[in-house]
Amino acid sequence: MAIITQRVKGTEDILPKDSYKWQFIEEILRKEAKYYGFKEIRTPVFEHTELFCRSVGDTTDVVQKEMYTFVTKGDVSITLRPEGTAGAARALLENALHNDGLPVKVDYITSCYRYEKAEKGRLREFHQFGMEVYGAALPVADAELICCVDSIFKRLGIKNIKLELNSIGCPTCRAKYQEALREYFGAYKSQLCGTCLSRLQKNPMRLLDCKSEVCSKIAEKAPTVLEYLCEECKEHFDSVKSMLDSAGIEYNVNPNIVRGLDYYTKTVFEFVSTDLDSKVTVCGGGRYDGLIEELGGPHLPSLGYAIGLERLLMIMEAQGIEIPKPSSCDIYIVGLGDKAQLKAFELVKSVRAASLTAESDIVGRGLKAQMKYANKIGAKYTMVIGDDEISNNKAKLRNMLSGEEKEISINDNFLEEFDNIYINEYIDVLV
């Protein structure tokens, strides 16, 4: 009989044999966030569509082409989150987190949804780790956030990651730049794709990251935003670079980075890798000083970034970085007969209560099959309990690595004796 259905195109199952890799990375990410004073935030998987139109920008590819939007039974337009920042900003305002003191520093691990061409490293359901800072206007906040990302890659052992940096200015200086872009691209109207033509007047900066081969070629000689920065934006950008220099973090100024979302201002950055088939952005972020105001809140200079976890794993695999596997079963206890099975059940429960991993049979295997299974799951110790062991209150504990056996009580002293043996034979060796 065929299975009822398969997973939706553009999604992936994270199977038990791989989930430990995600857990390992997530633990490092959460620890790094803690070191920098961030606290976790969790927001709903869907929001009112208006939130993303106002924050992300209605001229972006995300809003125009990629969002999963539907109308509820209550005739309300809802969208699955395409990114994490808008939801976090909405939660900040709705719950008045900024009234508790600034800066507000939050992090999240979240799933996101975009209708894109499904291919390796680009899924329709994907996962991001993000960090957001609200209420910090100084350039040191930009540098600190970039340092955090750099530290994460170093802790994971990832190499060949390059930081690309730019400033796209504030609304004042960007207005002059946009006018220069309209004039430049206007001379190529007959060659631009339909999407770029529609954006030329409303948001010409979007033309700089068009994927069309013709438009990309035209954009190569377009004016750069750095030529139009006002004095304040220039000083801010110079300060960010100076702080990165002092921290020993290498970067390349790339004036073509504009990021794909409209809420960015001033500093924008990407961490890119060339270890896959092509240049891949693993992390993107920057400053968005006007986002909170756009959503109806006060002026609250803000910034953040997001790391794509699927791409992070792909790069680690490409670089041959070994992710340590979780500890296997500490003890597998076999119970032969009803009384012995009951005793095995009791002992397994006590071991687990002591924060160790223990298993016993729950599918009705025989002795030989149970021992084979214990070996398969990597049990460090095994113990077989039968009628004789029940009568004597003692059993043989077998070290599966050395083959050595030791007699151990299976009464109230079991846990203490097992713990002593485990520490002496395994923990000391590891240390």
Residue 430: predicted pLDDT: 43
Instruction: Please name the CATH architecture into which domain 331-420 falls.
Output: 3-Layer(aba) Sandwich (3.40)
pLDDT at 274: 82
Q: What are the mean pLDDT values of the chain's consecutive 10-residue runs (431 residues total)?
A: 84 95 97 98 97 79 84 96 96 97 98 85 92 98 98 96 95 89 91 87 83 88 93 97 98 86 85 84 94 94 97 94 91 96 96 96 96 96 96 96 94 93 68 42
What pLDDT score does 431 carry? Answer: 42
pTM to 2 decimals?
A: 0.90
pLDDT of residue 59: 60
The pairing of beta strand 104-113 with beta strand 331-335: unpaired
In the CATH scheme, what architecture does the domain 16-170+230-318 have? 2-Layer Sandwich (3.30)
- pLDDT at site 429: 45
Domain segments of the chain as ranges: 16-170+230-318, 331-420
Closest-CA residue to 288 (of 309, 262, 270, 311): 262
